[in-house]
Chains A and B, each alone.
Chain A
Amino acid sequence: MAGSTHALPTADVAARAEAARKRVSPGLESWRRFRRHRLAVASAAILALIILTVVLGPLWWQVPINDIDFTARLAGPSWQHPFGTDDLGQDLLARLLYGGRISLGVGLAAMLVAVVAGTTVGALAGMSRGSVDAALMWLTDLFLSLPQLPLLLLIIYLFRDSLKALAGPEAGVYVLVVAVIGGFRWMPVARLVRAQFLSLREKEFVEAARALGASTTRQVVRHILPNALGPVIVAGTIEVAAAIIAESTLSFLGLGFPPDIPTWGRLLYDAKDYLDIAPHWALFPGAAIFLAVLTINLIGDGLRDTLDPRKVM
């Protein structure tokens, strides 16, 4: 339409304005594609609600997490304690809100560790062919075949006390758990990034940048990495869910955070001996973990469809 020479000037301007309106930024386009995925959008809303509740909830529900009340021992949900109480009469809603901050925080931080480490290893391997690549991939495969949970437990057992002494009980364990979970989950990201780099580095636009004299760092940072980011974002999203499960698993085995810090997994661990008299104690934290993990996985699924440009929707 814009090419028609017979059009009146006003019509031409209108057509151009329409063309400009149709030209959308990649971010907006991604959002349009993501919006089609109704389940993923609903999940994003639910997850946002969970995060908001966990972050802002303690401002509104100001019951201390360690307020012991033996008269309300193992009480079911009531107006006074909406989620019931545990064996010491401590309010479960307050403990859930507190634990959620830790569980979600650990998930996000461990994901960041895994993504940064994985991207670095993958980028190094993808850019440097030959022995460096082979060595890094051997390392990746080795880490993939390690029995992760036993090693996680072993490392936490060996290093817990010294880090506690170094950074205090809560911060020390936090750093340790994040580092260890992230340190055992970077391999899929590294493989993804390497595969992307191997194909992208041969593409014409990178060649053009190279011909214009761009340094390797600039090629990687400005040209290759932004184009390799899609699958990494998807993997990172799913990584958050995996890290939340890993942290809850550690706490559930009694080897994560100290007993006085009620993470979701720790609440389940404490509750599992009272299943017959106080099932609510186990059900609420379990449902919280499940809901967080399910929504994150669904968002990841939606993002996978969104960020794959070949996919026709």
Chain B
Amino acid sequence: MGRYLVRRLLIAIPSLIGISVVLFTVLALAPGDPFEELATNPNVPAAVRASLRVKFGLDDPIAIRYLRWFTAMLHGDWGFSFVSRVDVDVLILQRLPTTLFVIGSSQVLALLIALPVGIYAAARPYSIFDQIASTLAFVGFSLPTFFTGILFILIFSIYLDWLPFVYRTDISATGWQWYWEHIRQAAMPVAVLGLFQGASWTRYVRSSVLDVIRLDYVTTARAKGLAERDVIMRHVVRNALIPVVTLVALQMPAVFGGAIITEQIFRIPGIGSLLISSILANDTPTIMAVTFVFACLVIVFNLLADLIYGWLDPRITYR
């Protein structure tokens, strides 16, 4: 298992480098000078500007600039936010836990919806339950997250007045009250993201269970006299989940995209809203760093999916 992990980590490195090349190319191809803010300030004399450019190496060949940028990123030197006047890595580390909390709980919610509904629907294909579930799943993933978010705010915050629609980190309550307030304010964002993901995963689970449930070994298991419950839970589901894990891993970029929108709607102070606010404020170092963090997160979750894959499917060797 340890060696498998190391190997997977080694495979992740080229994609990380690839992503950093793409990011840097985009930045280098962009017209105008990304450090214009610093360089075109009229208070800075031309000589100082030139020496600043030399100091930051803005006139070097692109390959050297890339190498310097990449080693700096590896060292944890992510630059200095023009707007917030703090180091970018401090800024991101402050906000990352909130994002991970919201994404993580929404994925758990999505799994809690998709697994039982998908399996139950596939065990009784074309039944009333299956048809209702499939229709709802279709509606669910055709509703864009920004519209669901607005609908939820309209219903639960404005008409019913049950839940707050602004996410706060400075809740003054303590003890149980603190947890309760947190659950209340996280309910809508987590539900928006989780329902959207749950809807598309339900379809995957259903079709994948349907593929497996017709195989001969399932008939054998039934012929042995196993209870239907055991057949489904122990024989079908485990095999059916293998392709689902792949599909879920492929969806990870979309999940982070959804998180950005949700953070923006509910004003959650995570890295997604940091990205939007820094784009609106032309804060280049922060934008680059947050995009890079998102890329790393996608790779980490893909790695996680591969590990689960190896656990589900013994045919995959860990060597």
Q: Which A residues contact B (CB, under 8 angstroms)? A: 138, 141-142, 144-151, 153-155, 157-159, 161-162, 241, 245, 248-249, 252-255, 265, 268, 271-272, 275-276, 279, 282-283, 286, 289-290, 293-294, 297-298, 301
Q: Which residues of A contact B34 (CB under 8 A)?
A: 158
A275 touches which one: B27, B153, B252, B261 (CB < 8 A)?
B153
B19 within 8 A of A: yes
Partner-binding segment picked from B97-105, B109-117, B220-228, B288-296: B288-296
6 contacts between A and B (CB under 8 A): A145-B253, A157-B279, A161-B32, A272-B265, A279-B154, A289-B147
Q: Which residues of A contact B94 (CB under 8 A)?
A: none
Main secondary structure of the interface of A (DSSP, over half): helix
The residues in B between 272 and 319 inclusive whose CB is less than 8 angstroms from any CB of A are: 275-276, 279-280, 282, 287-288, 290-291, 294-295, 297-299, 302
Chain B neighbourhood of A150, CB < 8 A: 256-257, 260, 275, 290-291, 294-295
Closest partner residue, chain A, to B290 (CB atom): A150
Q: Are A151 and B291 in contact (CB under 8 A)?
A: yes
Residue of A nearest to B254 (CB): A148
- A-B residue pairs, 9 tightest by C-beta: A149-B257, A158-B30, A147-B294, A294-B142, A286-B147, A162-B31, A150-B291, A142-B18, A252-B146
Residue of A nearest to B165 (CB): A275
Instruction: Enumerate B218-239 residues with CB–CB distance to A below 8 Å.
Output: none
A282 engages B142 (CB within 8 Å): no
The number of chain B residues touching the other chain, given as a range, is 35 or more
A139 to B175, CA, bound (A): 50
Whether B299 lies near A145 (C-beta < 8 A) is: yes
Is B264 an interface position by the 8 A CB rule?
yes
Q: Does B83 contact A (CB under 8 A)?
A: no
User: CA A67 – CA B253 in complex, angstroms?
Assistant: 41
CB neighbours (8 Å) of A253 from chain B are 260-261, 264, 276
Of A151, A154, A272, A290, which one neighbours B142 at CB under 8 angstroms? Answer: A290
Contact residues in B for A297 (Cβ distance below 8 Å): 138, 141-142
Q: In the complex, what's the smallest C-beta–C-beta distance from B158 to chain A, in angstroms?
A: 5
Bound Cα distance from A250 to B291, whole angstroms: 16
User: Which residues from B are CB-within-8-Å of A301?
Assistant: 138
